[in-house]
Every structure is written in structure tokens, then in C-alpha cells.
Chain A
Amino acid sequence: MINQSQFILLVKITILAFIVGAVALPSILDIISPFWLLLFFIYWLIYSDSDRIYSAAFVLGILLDIFQGGILGQNALALLISSAFILSVKKSFFVSNLTTQQVYVFIASLMYLIVFLITHIAVQGMQIDWLVVFVPFTGAILWPVVRFLLAKLNH
């Protein structure tokens, strides 16, 4: 079950993640910008005691795939695997300092990127801009900002 307040927060961060992800950026920034939905979802995940986390990750991933016009299931699969990692370190994540949290976010973003690229290469071939490897770094760097802003939104 997802209780009402957690559900409302999930809806808020989903809409926000979609809006932030849709803002136009210069080409390079666009490629290296973090996986916004993952960052926002991590925030929800660490404060959530729901047992429907994987279902939520699946639905949000599918919505993102449709919104971005990508391969259906690509973001869903990546978000599920990254969420599984964050869940496995959830207790540690919750009590860690910001730097350790950034390391966890980096690893989750890296896992997301690997799954994302594998599915992309399997379906569309080796058509990749290699700047995309910087995405986990930008995700980790921007995590404190995202956490601060979402905490404000939550309260």
C-alpha cells in the first residue's frame, strides 16, 4: 500500500521530474543532465515505507518512456534496477552523510545508465554520444540540491 501523503508526494515529484526533464538545454548540457526521475524517485524511496515501490518504479518508468518517445520499458527497467540497489542500502542511505549519499546516487545512476545503454544498443545499435558517460557524475553532484528542494516541497 502507498498511503495518501506518500502518494501525493510521489505525484508531485513525478510531475516535477517530467517538467524539469522537458526544459530545453544546450546540446551538451542536455546529454549530460542527470536522470531527473531517478534522483526524484530516490528521494521518495528513502522516505517511503510502501511495499509497492517496484510497481511505482515500473509505472513511472513507462510514463517517462512514453513522454520521451523512447523504447517502451527502457526507463522502467533501468529505474527498477536502480531502485533495487537503493532499497538494498536504504538503511545506510538514510543515516549517511551527504557525501556517502552522493556515492550511492552515483552508483544508482551508473546502474541506470548501463541498463539504459544496453537496451538502447540492443534495439537501435551503437548510436551513442559518449558524453552520456558523465550523467552519473552530474547526478551525484546535483543530489544535494535535489534533496534540499524536494525537502522544501515535502514540507
Chain B
Amino acid sequence: MRLFKLFVPIFLSIILIVLDARFSYLDSFKRFTLTLLSPIYLVVDLPSQVIDWINDKGSENELLVSQNDYLEGQLIELKAKLQTYNNLTLENQKLSNLLEASYLIPEHNVKLARIKSISQSRLSKKIIINKGFNDGVTLSDLIIGSDGVVGQVTEVTPMYSTVRLLSDPTQHIPVKNSRNGIRGITKGLASIDRGMILKYIPLESDIKLGDIFMTSGIGNSYPSGYSVGRVKSIDENQDPSFMTVYLEPTQNMNSLELVLIVKENND
């Protein structure tokens, strides 16, 4: 009887693992339960919120604080926009050399969010932001910082969203070299280096240390033109036909407080 009591939940767990890995039947159940559990985020974040509140109260001029917050948001937004425009300028120059073409500048809606100091499962790299579907966040939205891509929204609750970092081993992003347009797909590395890897690049490809790879927009999963990583090293010995390129994220994740949620403007 005791063994039966053990094997029934074990059997159920295995069924759930298979169902969750292969199908998406359980997604709405997971979303509903996560919404119920999300007050835990509030509790964890309470000490830092209390400290922020005390600091704000202690300030002589509240207006300055709010203006500072506003300007900080504006600055990060503008720096992020600048990334796109720099890449577009390069792209435009190349195209103009070939033919008299005009380039459509992509229009993206951005929304500011603050990172909650919460880490998640030890084998995946995720962060929580303080915006959820009440603020219009949807699954697969791109998250960027002032210097590049941070990751992608993987779970959404009314008040919070979970963002899988681009260095997570399960995260794949279509990219292209900003210098010559060579394309590839990045994959996060499981080590604590927070790096990415770019595989199956033909050996003769023109890739140099320091090259910047940005989102290519292929597959429409991500808006194009945002910096993803800088070439850190190139390995030509792993495979006789292809080179392996190691990238470091252009965005420093450690000093990140504010991020932008980017949406394609479909208007």
C-alpha cells in the first residue's frame, strides 16, 4: 500500500514531465497557478521597496527624485533607440552604395520596466520585471537594456513577467553581423560566463574579434536591429567545415536596473 502511494505520484510526475516537454496543454494551468503564487515576488521585493520608500521620504525635494526617475527612463530609451539607428545607418550606407534604395526605419513601441531582484531556477537564467499583462506585456516580447538585448518574455502574470536571458542555454536568437550581414543563430552557454555561442558558420566567413552581432529579425520572433553580442573568440578547430564563434553580451546584466519592453508597431 505504501509503495502504491509512492508510485502513483511518481507516475503522475513522469506523465507531467512528458506532457510539459512535448505539448502545451498545461500552459494555462501553469499561468493561473503562477498568478496565484506571484504575491511571493511582492514579499521578496518588500525590503528593497521599503528602503526605496525611506530614501524617497528622506529626500528634500520629491520633485527632483521623480524627475530623475523620468530622465533615467528617457535616457535608457534613447540609448536603446540609438542602437537601432546606428545599425540602420550602416545598413543604409551599404545599400546606397549598391543601388538608390531607401530603407524603412522600423517603428517599435517601447515600455519601461524595473527588474525585481529575484533569481530563478539554478539551471536556467531568468529575471523578473515589474510589468505584466495588465501593462500590455505579452509572451515573446523582446527585452532590451541601454546597450543591447537582455532576453525574451517567457511567462506573464498580471503584475510581473519572467524574462529568459539571452545567455540561457535554451534561448536561440537569429542574428547578423552588423559589419557584413553574415547570419547565424545564437545559443546561450550554461556556464556562469553569461556568454553565447554561434555555430555552423562557414570556415571562410569574414568574422573578426570585436564584431557586433545584432538581431536580424528573421522569423519575426524579435524586432531587428538591436545589439546582441560582441565576438569574444573564434574557434576553427571544433569542426572541419564550420567555425564556432563565442559572443559576450553587449548588455552588462549585472548593473541592470531598468529595461525596455520592445514591441513591433503594427499600426
A114-148 at interface with B (beta carbon < 8 Å) = 119-120, 122-125, 127-129, 131-132, 135
In the complex the two chains form, is B33's CB within 8 Å of A84's CB?
Answer: no
Complex interface: stretch among B34-42, B93-101, B129-137? B34-42
Provided the pairs A58-B9, A120-B123, A127-B169 are in contact, do residues A67 and B40 lie with their beta carbons within 8 angstroms? yes
Total number of A residues with any Cβ neighbor in B under 8 Å: 46
In the complex the two chains form, is B123's CB within 8 Å of A69's CB?
Answer: no
Total number of B residues with any Cβ neighbor in A under 8 Å: 41
In the complex the two chains form, is B43's CB within 8 Å of A19's CB?
Answer: yes
Q: Which residue of A22, A63, A69 is within 8 Å of B155 (Cβ)?
A: A69
Q: Which residue of A31, A57, A124 is within 8 Å of B122 (Cβ)?
A: A31
A15, A67, A128: most-surrounded residue (chain B CB, <10 A): A67
What are the interface flags for B8-24 relative to A under an 8 Å C-beta threshold, 1 for contact and 0 otherwise?
A: 11101111110111000
Q: Is B176 an interface residue (CB 8 A)?
A: no
Q: Which residue of A62, A81, A127 is within 8 Å of B10 (Cβ)?
A: A81
Instruction: Report A54 CB to chain B, min CB distance, Å.
Output: 5
In the complex, A73 Cα to B14 Cα: how many Å?
7
In the complex the two chains form, is B6's CB within 8 Å of A54's CB?
Answer: yes
What are the interface flags for A35-77 relative to B under an 8 Å C-beta threshold, 1 for contact and 0 otherwise?
A: 0000000000000000100110110011100111111111011
Instruction: Report B170 CB to chain A, min CB distance, Å.
Output: 6
How many residue pairs link A and B with beta carbons under 8 A? The number is 121
B177-228 at interface with A (beta carbon < 8 Å) = 190-192, 194
Q: Is B119 an interface residue (CB 8 A)?
A: yes
Q: Is B126 an interface residue (CB 8 A)?
A: yes
Q: Which residue of B13, B117, B120 is within 8 Å of A68 (Cβ)?
A: B120
In the complex, A80 Cα to B122 Cα: how many Å?
19
Closest-by-CB residue of B relative to A23 is B44
Q: Is A18 an interface residue (CB 8 A)?
A: yes
In the complex, A98 Cα to B213 Cα: how many Å?
54
In the complex the two chains form, is A58's CB within 8 Å of B12's CB?
Answer: yes
Q: Which residues on B sit within 8 Å (CB–CB) of A127?
A: 123, 169-170, 190
Q: Which residues on B sit within 8 Å (CB–CB) of A135?
A: 122
Q: Which residue of B9, B15, B30, B192 is within 8 Å of A129 (Cβ)?
A: B192
Provided the pairs A24-B119, A54-B9 are in contact, do residues A63 and B14 lie with their beta carbons within 8 angstroms? no
B82-125 at interface with A (beta carbon < 8 Å) = 117-124
Interface residues of A: mostly helix, strand, loop or mixed? helix
Q: Is B162 an interface residue (CB 8 A)?
A: yes
Q: Is B5 an interface residue (CB 8 A)?
A: yes
In the complex the two chains form, is A119's CB within 8 Å of B17's CB?
Answer: yes
Instruction: Report B256 CB to chain A, min CB distance, Å.
Output: 12
Q: Which residues on A sit within 8 Å (CB–CB) of B126?
A: 69
In the complex, A57 Cα to B6 Cα: how many Å?
10
Closest-by-CB residue of A relative to B44 is A22
In the complex, A129 Cα to B191 Cα: how many Å?
5
Q: Which residues on A sit within 8 Å (CB–CB) of B21?
A: 71, 122-123
In the complex, A88 Cα to B43 Cα: how many Å?
36
Closest-by-CB residue of A relative to B39 is A15
Closest-by-CB residue of B relative to A128 is B190
In the complex the two chains form, is B9's CB within 8 Å of A80's CB?
Answer: yes
What are the interface flags for A71-107 relative to B under an 8 Å C-beta threshold, 1 for contact and 0 otherwise?
A: 1111011001100100000000000000000000000
- Residues on A facing B (Cβ under 8 Å): 15, 18-19, 22-25, 27-28, 30-31, 33, 51, 54-55, 57-58, 61-63, 66-74, 76-77, 80-81, 84, 119-120, 122-125, 127-129, 131-132, 135
